[in-house]
């Protein structure tokens, strides 16, 4: 099959809807926008809906399609997911720590590093967190 169209568009994670502009663009070239939205939303269901993702849609002559999602960088995602906690120690000093939830780390491994083992994925993310002075909680 020969590629007929290549569409680059930004869509929020789990936010594809078969309404304009996406529905119009896909509908005008003969692609079922409802099916695309269902597949895309299923693919991104575990990502926070505030992630704006660059999506490349390749449409073939027979109106079938594939799509690739370009996720934001790991450090940007960690910046969005990090939380801050104020702690007072036994000596009365007050300081803050930045942390990321373990559940979020596991989701990151699933989406950003899907070809890596869990053990290696955690090492990579821990390295980024260490460089950013963020802990896993």
Assign residue 57 the CATH number of its domain.
3.30.1550.10
Comparison of pLDDT for 97 and 2, the residue scoring more: 97
- Band the pLDDT of 1: cuts 50, 70, 90: low
Decide which of 55, 70, 85 is a domain's last residue: 70
Tell me what the mean pLDDT of segment 48-67 comes to. 90
Mean pLDDT of 14-30: 92
Q: Both 97 and 44 in a single domain?
A: no
Which of 76, 118, 81, 72 has the alpha carbon at shortest distance from 99? 81
**132, 88: one domain:** yes
Residue 11 lies in domain: 3-70
Quote the number of domains for the chain.
2
Residue pLDDT, tens place only, 90-108 = 888 998 999 999 998 888 8
């Amino acid at each position: 099959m020969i590629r007929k169209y290549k569409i680059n568009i930004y869509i929020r994670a789990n936010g594809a809807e078969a309404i304009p502009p996406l529905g119009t663009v896909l509908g005008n070239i003969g692609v079922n926008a409802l099916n695309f939205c269902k597949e895309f939303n299923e693919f991104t269901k575990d990502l926070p809906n505030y992630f704006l993702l660059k999506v490349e849609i390749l449409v073939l002559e027979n109106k079938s399609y594939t799509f690739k999602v370009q996720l934001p960088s790991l450090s940007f995602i960690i910046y969005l997911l990090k939380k801050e906690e104020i702690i007072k120690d036994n000596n009365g000093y007050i300081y803050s720590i930045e942390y990321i939830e373990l559940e979020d780390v596991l989701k990151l491994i699933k989406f950003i590093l899907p070809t890596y083992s869990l053990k290696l994925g955690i090492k990579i993310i821990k390295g980024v967190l260490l460089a950013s002075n963020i802990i896993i909680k």
